[in-house]
Amino acid sequence: MHCSVARTLDVVGERWSLLILRDAFNGIHRFDAFQASLGIARNILADRLAKLVEHGVLERRRYAEHPPRDEYRLTAKGRALFDVLMAMVHWGDTWESEGAEPPVTITHEGCGAVMHAVPACSNCGQILTPWNVRTHPARTEADAGVSA
């Protein structure tokens, strides 16, 4: 499906995959540490890690030779999911917390505040809302066919 949201979901739309990435942002890199953090079955963890490596958002790096041991590190493509994670965390905290305190608070080291992420315009920095953006579908081959 020719849609960026669909392609993103192919990579991060599965619960364990995104939770693994969340842990990776929090400094977890090794199989046993992921397993302890997530309480996930080892075969499922191995499968999800392999898929994330296949999608290029994690990469395996050998950290010991005897016995051979690999760890999993975010690639540039994986680090770019920071924006998606920050948005998901804030939405979950706001709308799905059932009145509980957020399980994690996040501070911005620049200003020191406990804060959340808001979407800003990459050009001018103003805050974006559903009312101040406009989407323009690109002309696709299908469109060209219809208009021909």
User: Least distance to a second copy from the beta carbon of 70, Å?
Assistant: 22
Residue of 19, 33, 46, 53 that binds a second copy (CB under 8 A): 19
- Cβ nearer to a second copy, comparing 32 with 83: 83
Of residues 62-101, those binding a second copy (CB under 8 A): 77, 79-97, 100-101
For CA atoms 109, 114, 119, 120, the dihedral sign is: negative
Of residues 28-67, those binding a second copy (CB under 8 A): 56
- Cβ nearer to a second copy, comparing 65 with 98: 98
User: 78 burial class (0-12, 13-18, 19+ CB within 10 angstroms)?
Assistant: buried
| Alpha-carbon gap, residue 95 to 99, rounded angstroms | 9
- Cβ nearer to a second copy, comparing 2 with 66: 2
User: Least distance to a second copy from the beta carbon of 46, Å?
Assistant: 20
Contact between 142 and a second copy by CB under 8 A: the answer reads no
| Alpha-carbon gap, residue 81 to 79, rounded angstroms | 5
User: Least distance to a second copy from the beta carbon of 67, Å?
Assistant: 31
- Cβ nearer to a second copy, comparing 9 with 69: 9
CA distances to 29, 67, 70 from 63, rounded to whole Å, are 11, 10, 6
User: For the packed helices 42-54 and 31-38, what is the interaxial angle rounded to 10 degrees?
Assistant: 120
Contact 102, 112 (CB under 8 A): no
User: Least distance to a second copy from the beta carbon of 36, Å?
Assistant: 13
User: Least distance to a second copy from the beta carbon of 49, Å?
Assistant: 17
